[in-house]
Amino acid sequence: MAPIALNGTMNEATFNKPRAAQPATEETGESIRLAARSGIFTGQTSGSAPTYVQANLIAMPARYAGDFRLLCQRNPVPCPLLAESEAIGSWSALKSHVAGVTGRQIAENVDLRHDFPRYMVYESGVLTKSQCLSIEAEWTEEHVGFLIGCSFSFESALAAAGLVPPHTAHGRNVPMYRTSLPLCPAGVFRNSTYVVSMRLYREQDIERIRDITRPYVATHGEPIDWGWDAVTRLGIKDVTQPEFGDSPVLSDGALLLRDVSTNGEDVIPVFWGCGVTPQEAVRRAALHGTVLGHAPGHMIVLDIRDWDILPERSS
Amino acid sequence: MAPIALNGTMNEATFNKPRAAQPATEETGESIRLAARSGIFTGQTSGSAPTYVQANLIAMPARYAGDFRLLCQRNPVPCPLLAESEAIGSWSALKSHVAGVTGRQIAENVDLRHDFPRYMVYESGVLTKSQCLSIEAEWTEEHVGFLIGCSFSFESALAAAGLVPPHTAHGRNVPMYRTSLPLCPAGVFRNSTYVVSMRLYREQDIERIRDITRPYVATHGEPIDWGWDAVTRLGIKDVTQPEFGDSPVLSDGALLLRDVSTNGEDVIPVFWGCGVTPQEAVRRAALHGTVLGHAPGHMIVLDIRDWDILPERSS
pLDDT of residue A255: 86
CB contacts of B233 in chain A (<8 Å) are: 182
ipTM: 0.88
Distance between CA atoms of residues B177 and B66, nearest Å: 27
Is the domain spanning B154-273 CATH 3.30.2040.10? The answer is yes
Contact predicate A178/A193, CB 8 Å: yes
A24-152+285-314 — its CATH code? 3.40.1640.10
Give the total residue count for chain A.
315
If one counts every other C-beta atom within 10 angstroms of the C-beta of residue A284, the result is: 15
CB contact under 8 A, B185 and A77: no
User: How close are the terminal C-alpha atoms of chain A, in Å?
Assistant: 42
Distance (Å, whole) CA A151 – CA A1: 23
Identify whether the C-beta of residue B246 lies closer than 8 Å to the C-beta of residue B6.
Answer: no
Residue of A74, A181, A222 with shortest CB distance to B221: A74
Residue from A69, A72, A73, A77 to probe the interface with B (highest B Cβ count within 10 Å): A77
**Hey, is the C-beta of A181 within 8 angstroms of any chain B C-beta?**
yes
- pLDDT score of A25: 58
pLDDT by residue, tens only, chain A of 315 residues: 232 233 333 333 333 333 444 444 589 999 999 999 999 999 999 889 988 999 999 999 999 999 999 999 999 999 999 999 999 999 999 999 998 999 999 999 999 999 999 999 999 989 999 999 999 999 999 999 999 999 888 898 999 999 999 998 898 999 999 999 999 999 999 999 999 999 999 999 999 999 999 999 999 999 999 999 999 999 999 999 999 999 998 888 888 887 777 766 789 999 999 999 999 998 899 899 999 999 999 999 999 998 888 875 333
How many CB pairs (< 8 A) connect A and B?
55
Residues 254-283 of B with CB under 8 A from A: 273
CB contact under 8 A, B74 and A221: yes
Per-residue pLDDT tens digits for A202-254: 999 999 999 999 999 999 999 999 999 999 999 999 999 999 999 998 888 88
Cβ within 8 Å, pair A185-B77 = no
Alpha carbons B79 and B68: distance in angstroms, whole number:
10
Q: How many CB atoms lie within 10 A of CB B253?
A: 14
pLDDT of B151 reads 87
Give the model's pLDDT for residue A151: 87
The pLDDT score that the predictor gives to residue B309 is: 86
| A145 vs B: CB within 8 A | no
CA separation, residue A20 to residues A39, A65, A276, B31 (Å): 12, 34, 22, 68
B127: β partners: B122
Most distant pair of Cα atoms in chain A: their distance = 55
What pLDDT, on the 0 to 100 scale, is given for residue A263? 67
| pLDDT recorded at residue B152 | 86
Domain covering B24-152+287-314: architecture: 3-Layer(aba) Sandwich (3.40)
**Residue contact A182–B225, C-beta within 8 A:** yes
The Cα-based distances of A237 to A179, A241, A271 in angstroms read 8, 8, 14
- Residue range A97-136, pLDDT digits in tens: 998 999 999 999 999 999 999 999 999 989 999 999 999 9
Do the Cβ atoms of B185 and A73 come within 8 Å?
no
Of B73, B225, B273, the CB nearest to A76: B73
A187 contact B CB<8A: yes
- pLDDT by residue for chain B (315 residues), tens only, comes to 232 233 333 333 333 333 444 444 589 999 999 999 999 999 999 889 988 999 999 999 999 999 999 999 999 999 999 999 999 999 999 999 998 999 999 999 999 999 999 999 999 989 999 999 999 999 999 999 999 999 888 898 999 999 999 998 898 999 999 999 999 999 999 999 999 999 999 999 999 999 999 999 999 999 999 999 999 999 999 999 999 999 999 888 888 887 777 766 789 999 999 999 999 998 899 899 999 999 999 999 999 998 888 875 333
Calculate how close chain A gets to B78, using CA atoms only, in Å: 10
Q: Where are the domains of chain B?
A: 24-152+287-314, 154-273
Give per-residue burial for B7-34: e unless 16+ CB within 10 Å, then b: eebbeeeebeeebeebeeeebbbbbbbb
- SS3 of A108-135: the string is CCCCCCCCCCCEEEEECCEEEEEEECCC
- Strand A119-123 and strand A290-294: pairing? antiparallel
Q: Provide the phi-psi class of A39: left if phi over 0, else alpha when psi is between -120 and 50, else beta.
A: left
- Closest-CA distance, A214 to chain B, in angstroms, reads 8
